[in-house]
Amino acid sequence: MVSEDLDIANKNLPAEQGPVQYVNELTTLNLGPTHPATHGIFQNVLQMDGEKIVSSEQTIGYIHRAFEKIAERRPFYQITTLTDRMNYCSSPINNMGWHMTVEKLLGIDIPKRAQYIRVILMELARIADHVVCNGILGVDTGAFTGFLYIYQERENIYEIYEEICGARLTTNMGRIGGMERDLSPTAIRKIKELLVRFPKILREFENLFNRNRIFMDRVVNVGSISAERALSYGFTGPNLRAAGVDYDVRVMNPYSSYQDFEFDIPVGQSGDTYDRFMVRNEEMWQSLRIIQQAMDNLPEGPYYADAPQYYLPPKQEVYKNMEALIYHFKIVMGEIDAPVGEVYHAVEGGNGELGFYLISDGGRAPYRLHFRRPCFIYYQAYPEMCKGLTLSDAIVIMSSMNVIAGELDA
Amino acid sequence: MLTNEEVAQTIINQFGEAVSDFDDPYDLLTFSTTRETIIPLITYLKDHQTFQVGFLTDITGIHYPDSVGKEFCVVYHLHSLTNNFRLRVKVYLSADDLHIPTASPVFASANWMERETFDFFGIIFDGHPDLRRILNMEEMDYFPMRKEYPLEDATREDKIDALFGR
């Protein structure tokens, strides 16, 4: 007799003392470095209890390219190529931000036409950035269609870039002191066509997602963050606005004539994935508004500042004009004598406040250049945001945060 | 709107000798302080009734190998979103005592910024919850953003400065 009250034949078991006790054991799950859903190279080691994430440890720096160190040896013009490669979804914003930083250091005033052209290009870049982010968020939740249709428009934006500067991804757009060339008639035509065509596609995209039952089940109340925590974590841009703080560099510290335009700042409430998605969608509409106003009121006049010692002259001038040849040689050989000083300039990048902290000691290259990269600063909140959620939630949170590996690692 | 003079005067009244070198390059209030004062200072600015400097924009480091006793500098960019007021605080450190208290209890975002500063300059943030390298590999035994490490390999003959106008 094993036990008095154990009668298996009649299925009489001893009285239970509560539910069966299991040993709690955490599963270690390695998400990354090259997981297709991370859209970049960063590793997350998740500790999971069943399918709930208990904690996660991030490893970043897989594509760290020492940009700040390289920048210490390069003349100001050559640093433009480094800024391209940070947030490679919206290169023009980085280029313009860098040029504006140098112009602030040198004290150059930019003519209105160049400022408006910059605004148009920056807003196009913002649209491209948000198209990538929201399209990919759709893909991560399983909706491939919206991504396919809206990526056609990103292609069209890249064609506009091509028309303006010849490159598509790493644009190198602009010059210190203005633009390298005026908007060509083709570029103007393409921008106007985009203004007509893109709203329809964006409306279609929104109809597909905004009240979609499957999509909302996946993203509503996933990865919420309170405004207070978001500020403490240094969130900026759409992620902070989704949490309910209406901080936008374009409104707070207007640069490049942003004060001339009327646009709204979309603000979310709960800071969850759905709010981030909606804020980005609405920002695309606002960007279209800004582009429309800028195209309608594009002022006449020169497209570069009257600063021959800093503005790289057009190549046709160099062949014909002695002054231009001399300045061209000096600028290319890096003999710009920059004033001594330190500048912090921030622009509203694709996903937050993109800041450039430049210290010049009067040499041909910056003494120290630091990029305030929004991604790098808000990605550290990721473990806190996906705590207690499932793995599928962790994927959509990462997509909606728009973590760009190039900007994260610089 | 806060003015630089107003904020500077308040900070001087509060901290006296511990803050110095007030300047405003390109209209951004800049001053230096000591490492004992930096955490009370940013806490004071954060909790101040009217300033409400509740946003840490950036922490980074600078290396000045030629200035004796002030070889390293940690730069804090702070931003008051309610008043739209930015300020920059610098703390100079000497090369043989690279310690500064961490700001991560005050701002959660300081965690990775300080890790990055440690990674590149070797400045040690006392009390930091997890002070490891972040962008470079763990096995690295030097701090690459210091000025004594040239970007190019110094032994190469085809990359001398004279050929590049440097």
Is the distance from CB of A410 to CB of A67 less than 8 angstroms? yes
pLDDT of residue B43: 92
Three-state secondary structure call for residue B144: coil
pLDDT at B153: 63
Partner residue opposite A343 with nearest CB, options B26, B135, B145: B26
Q: What backbone phi and psi angles, to 5 degrees, belong to A227?
A: -60, -40
For position A346, what pLDDT does the model report?
93
Domain count, chain A: 1
Range with the poorest average pLDDT among A144-148, A226-230, A301-305, B154-158: B154-158
pLDDT score, position A96: 93
User: Mean of the pLDDT values across residues A194-218?
Assistant: 92
User: Residue A104 — pLDDT band, cuts 50, 70, 90?
Assistant: very high
Tell me which residue in B107, B136, B144 faces A61 most closely, judged by beta carbons: B136
Can you give the pLDDT at residue B159?
63
B22 in A contact zone (CB under 8 Å): no
CA distance B29 to chain A (A): 11
Q: Which domain holds residue A354?
A: 56-409
- Gap between the Cα atoms of A354 and A51, Å rounded: 36
The predicted model gives B76-87 an average pLDDT of 91
In terms of C-beta density within 10 A (0-12 exposed, 13-18 middle, 19 or more buried), how is residue B120 classed? buried
More confident residue, A38 or B100: B100
Is residue B164 predicted with pLDDT exceeding 70?
A: no
Predicted confidence (pLDDT) at residue A344 exceeds the cutoff of 90: yes
> Is the per-residue pLDDT at A334 higher than 80?
no
pLDDT of res. B166:
54
| Amino acid, single-letter form, for residue A178 | G
* pLDDT tens digits along A150-196: 999 999 999 999 999 889 999 988 888 888 889 999 999 999 999 99
Q: Share the mean pLDDT of chain B.
A: 88
- Averaged over A282-305, what is the pLDDT? 93
pLDDT of residue B154: 61
Q: Which of B107, B122, B97, B121 is nearest to B76 (CA)?
A: B107
DSSP character for A348?
E
User: What is the Cα–Cα distance from A121 to A294, expressed in whole angstroms?
Assistant: 10
pLDDT digits (tens, 9 = 90+) for A231-243: 999 999 999 999 9
Mean pLDDT, residues A270-288: 92
List C-alpha distances in Å: B63 to B72, B92, B117: 5, 10, 11
Q: Give me A288's structure tokens.
A: 């279209």
Q: How far is A101 from chain B (nearest CA, A)?
A: 11
Checking if the pLDDT of B75 tops 70, the result is: yes
- For B148, residues 6+ apart whose C-beta sits below 8 A from its C-beta are B65
Element (H, E) at A299: none
Closest by Cα among B25, B125, B13 to A105? B25
Q: Does B14 touch chain A (CB under 8 A)?
A: no
Q: What is the mean pLDDT of residues A81-90?
A: 91
Cα distances from A361 to residues A11, A76, A160, A169, A255, in angstroms, run 88, 13, 38, 32, 25
Question: Is residue A5 included in any domain, yes or no?
Answer: no
- Architecture field, domain B4-163: 2-Layer Sandwich (3.30)
Chain B nearest-CA residue for A366: B62
Q: How far is CA A48 from CA A28, A64, A401, in A?
A: 6, 29, 22
How far is A405 from chain B, CA to nearest CA, in Å?
A: 12
Per the model's pLDDT, the better-predicted residue between B165 and A12 turns out to be A12
Does the pLDDT of residue A100 top 60, yes or no? yes
Task: Summarize pLDDT for B19-56 with one digit per residue, the tens.
Answer: 988 988 888 999 999 989 999 999 999 998 988 888 99
Q: How far is A378 from chain B (nearest CA, A)?
A: 7
Q: How far is CA A180 from CA A128, A154, A273, A312, B45, in A?
A: 22, 23, 39, 8, 43
DSSP B43: H
Instruction: Please check the confidence at residue B165 and state whether its pLDDT lies above 60.
Output: no
Give A113's pLDDT tier (boundaries 50, 70, 90). very high
CATH number of the domain within which A178 lies? 1.10.645.10
Domain range annotation of chain B: 4-163
Contacts of A8 (CB under 8 A, 6+ apart): none
Give the model's pLDDT for residue A197. Answer: 93
Alpha-carbon distances of A268 from A27, A241, B109, rounded to whole Å: 35, 6, 22
Cβ atoms B49, B82 nearer than 8 A: no
Query: What average pLDDT does this structure show over A18-38?
Result: 81
pTM beyond 0.95: no
User: A376 vs B58: CB contact, 8 Å cut-off?
Assistant: no
Per-residue pLDDT band for A410 (boundaries 50, 70, 90) equals confident
Chain B window 61-120: which residues touch A at a Cβ cutoff of 8 Å? 62-63, 75, 77, 81, 84, 86, 88, 107-109, 111-113, 116, 120
- Which of B29, B85, B135, B149 should one mutate to test binding to chain A, selecting the residue with the greatest count of A CBs within 10 A? B135
pLDDT at B151: 74
**Locus of tokens 């701002």:** B107
Annotate B44-81 with DSSP letters as a single string.
HHHH-TTT---EEEEEEEEE-TTSTT--EEEEEEEEET
Give me the percent of chain A exceeding a pLDDT of 90: 55
Q: What is the mean pLDDT of residues A377-392?
A: 90
Q: Which residue has the higher pLDDT, A20 or A25?
A: A25
Q: Is the dihedral of CA A279, A280, A283, A288 positive or negative?
A: negative
Q: How far is CA A16 from CA A5, A13, A21, A22, in A?
A: 12, 8, 11, 15
Whether the pLDDT of residue A409 is over 60: the answer is yes
Q: What letter does residue A340 receive in the DSSP assignment?
A: S
Half-sphere exposure of A315 (CA within 13 A, CB side): 0
How many angstroms away from the CA of B108 is the closest CA of chain A? 5
Q: Do B165 and A364 touch (CB under 8 A)?
A: yes
Mean pLDDT over all residues of chain A? 89
Omega cis (within 30) before A33: yes
What pLDDT is attached to residue A314?
Answer: 85
Query: What is the rounded distance in angstroms from the CA atom of residue A353 to the CA atom of residue A348?
Result: 5
CA A153 to chain centre: 18
Buried b (16+ CB within 10 A) or exposed e, A220-245: eebbbbebebbbbbbbbbbbbbbbbb
Q: Which residues contact A383 (CB under 8 A, 6 or more apart)?
A: A55, A56, A57, A58
pLDDT the model gives residue A332: 83
The runs of H, that is alpha helices, within A107-184 are 112-140, 144-165
A contacts of B137 (beta carbons < 8 Å): 61
How does pLDDT run across A350-367, given as a tens digit for each residue? 889 999 999 998 888 889
Q: Is pLDDT of B155 > 70?
A: no
- A253 vs B84: CB contact, 8 Å cut-off? yes
Nearest-5° Cα angle at A274, A271 to A277? 100
CA-CA-CA-CA torsion sign (A63, A66, A67, A68): positive
Q: How confident is the model at residue B161 (pLDDT cuts 50, 70, 90)?
A: low
